[in-house]
A and B are shown apart, each in its own frame.
Chain A
Amino acid sequence: MVDAAAQAIDKVTVVTQIFEAAPWTMLGVILLGFLGGTISGFIGSGGAFLMTPGMMNLGIPGVMAVSANITHKFGKAMMGSKKHGELGNVDRKLGIYLLATAAVGINGAVWVNGYFFEKLGKAGSGLYVSAFFVIVLSIVGASLFKDAMRSAKEPGAGPSDKLLKLSKKFQIKPLVQFKVAKVEVSLVVLLVVGLATGYMAGTIGVGGFIGVPAMIYVFGVPTVVAAGTELFLAMFMGAWGAFNYGLQGYVDLRLTLLLYAGSLMGIYFGAVGTKLVKELYIRMVTAILILLCVVSRALAIPGYCKNLNLIDISKENIQMLEMGSKFFLFGSGIVATFLVLFWTFSAKAKEKKSNELGFSHGLK
């Protein structure tokens, strides 16, 4: 096992060192912000699954990438939730219930993440975050992909209702009604989902990938309301996560501000897209993108293992794997963002055409 002292790095200066050695890294972080912002505005969550590993690909330690991301998530969600709220997609009551236990999950995650960083340094933190990312998101991505394919084969079929039916069978009282989402959910189920969402948000900055599917598949919430509510939830979870990581001194504001530079431009396009683009496309993009990001992160794992002296692999092979990791992450993010923007603008053009008769939406 690696000598922790030899791996020890100064969290206050590590970002400065990276920026001074490669100033273009700052542009890389802005680009990540734009890609993540557009996608998260579009699917209601998901910016983090690009931004966290993306920053790690740029050399930022895992725990600092997560803390910058969760801090950024807070403000981004604040603005995104405002936009979804204007569009009528937020169930605030549902968000508040989930938040109650998410806070506990976040605290646990911050402690574990900090432990790995302090004990095993940058490589240990990177390995823990990456392994967690790969395991959880491959399950989430594969499930979403399977469901999207089913919808593609059977147009009009909504999200799979297997989990929904199962949760209805085991509904433990008390049940809570949510008017905007038009669902009734067991309080116990709500709290379990909140805890898992919080732990994921605190560990990899991607709480939405438990929260949104759970709302859709377990609670039966419409996709757009799930997306809007997740942003509302993310705002408070982000605040709690930011505060806790801040208390441990892991938040470098420069990363957060650079992420904002791109994300708050992209998020508005994404949010408009949810009203214009077919739901099937939203689910398809989400699933494929998650799986590509999983591949990207999996390719980065051997590098961390080598640094921890867990495996023996040549430097050339590590470089090749790192290159592949970057290629998958940035490539998939750029393609997905392009698709979101293309579909949004195309749908707007189609809507404009039907508006010539005055009846596409509001009539004349």
Chain B
Amino acid sequence: MKKIIVIDGTWDTQTQAIQYALKASKGTDTEIVGVFLAADSGKETIEKAEAVLKTVKQKMASEGVGFSSYVVAQDAQAFMKRINDLMPASLVIVGDVKFSADMVKGGVSTEALREKLACPVTTTENIAAASHAEEKPSKGTNWGMWIVYAIASALMYFVFFPNVKMLNEKLFMTGTVLGAIATMAVVVIHAWVWGNTTHILPKLFKLEK
């Protein structure tokens, strides 16, 4: 069974983080654990949080998803102890939560969680941004154009380059406006042609889609 921990400070059934966790758990054997970071440790606040989480639990049950929850006050030590007790997890989603200055001083923040926890830690903003990016139609690789760029690059290096010595004396290094403009023109053309030839490398290494 996999486990997703959702950390949020404004729980309800429509909380963005819980929606994402639900989406991710669909079709998999996944338990969702909610950690409600309360604004203070007052009795009223805790009771209110527990009531909200009860509603969320009912909603989860209706969706057939296992759900358990904890309310934690803004105390760095108590918070980290709770998170560590919940490990191992498959993912931590940080939702709409504000870590107090004392929590940050005590080493609790989204970035700190990323450093400390072995599992991936993401935020609702990151998920939203990535979802948006995925919705964009992929441009794909235009192999026809790539071949054109590759041939042009080969010409630049194997035909043009050996002649630069001669062209330096006649044009590029003459110290004239024409020479400077010609130099820049070559740079623009070459960077464009060679850049479009090499831009495919991260895709070839599967670093990008």
Chain A: residues with CB nearer than 8 A to chain B?
11-12, 16, 71-72, 74-76, 78-79, 82-83, 88, 154-158, 239, 242-244, 246-254, 256-257, 260-261, 264-265, 268-269, 272, 276, 278-280, 344-345, 348, 350-351, 354, 357-364
Contact across chains for A252 and B191 when beta carbons are under 8 A apart: no
Contact across chains for B164 and A257 when beta carbons are under 8 A apart: yes
Interface centre among B2, B20, B184 (most CB of A within 10 A): B184
A364 — which chain B residues lie within 8 A by C-beta?
Answer: 23-24, 26
Checking B131, B179, B188 against A363 with a beta-carbon cut-off of 8 angstroms, the contacting residue is B131
Alpha-carbon distance A344/B131, docked complex (angstroms): 21
- Does B88 count as interface, using CB distance less than 8 angstroms? no
Alpha-carbon distance A254/B166, docked complex (angstroms): 11
- B208: nearest chain-A partner, CB-CB: A272
Contact across chains for A257 and B161 when beta carbons are under 8 A apart: yes
Shortest Cβ distance from residue B137 to the other chain A in the assembled complex, whole angstroms: 14
List 9 A–B pairs whose Cβ atoms lie within 8 Å, in order of A's numbering.
A74-B184, A75-B187, A156-B109, A244-B180, A247-B175, A253-B164, A264-B194, A279-B111, A362-B130
A269 — which chain B residues lie within 8 A by C-beta?
Answer: 201-202, 205, 207
Shortest Cβ distance from residue A87 to the other chain B in the assembled complex, whole angstroms: 9
B111 — which chain A residues lie within 8 A by C-beta?
Answer: 155-156, 158, 279
Known A246-B183, A257-B161; 15 more pairs at CB < 8 Å: A74-B187, A75-B195, A83-B199, A157-B104, A253-B167, A253-B172, A254-B164, A265-B198, A348-B207, A359-B4, A359-B20, A359-B24, A359-B93, A359-B122, A360-B120
Checking B21, B23, B179, B187 against A249 with a beta-carbon cut-off of 8 angstroms, the contacting residue is B179
Contact across chains for B161 and A156 when beta carbons are under 8 A apart: no
- Does B165 count as interface, using CB distance less than 8 angstroms? yes
Alpha-carbon distance A351/B122, docked complex (angstroms): 11
Alpha-carbon distance A250/B173, docked complex (angstroms): 6
Contact across chains for B194 and A361 when beta carbons are under 8 A apart: no
- A262: nearest chain-B partner, CB-CB: B198
Q: Interface residues of B, CB < 8 Å — how many? A: 68
CB within 8 Å for A264 and B91 given contacts A156-B107, A362-B133, A363-B20: no
Contact across chains for A254 and B175 when beta carbons are under 8 A apart: no
Which 3 interchain pairs have the tightest Cβ spacing?
A: A75-B191, A246-B180, A156-B112
Contact across chains for A344 and B207 when beta carbons are under 8 A apart: yes
B173 — which chain A residues lie within 8 A by C-beta?
Answer: 11-12, 249-252
Contact across chains for A257 and B24 when beta carbons are under 8 A apart: no
Alpha-carbon distance A246/B21, docked complex (angstroms): 57
A88 — which chain B residues lie within 8 A by C-beta?
Answer: 129
Contact across chains for A280 and B90 when beta carbons are under 8 A apart: no
Shortest Cβ distance from residue A246 to the other chain B in the assembled complex, whole angstroms: 3
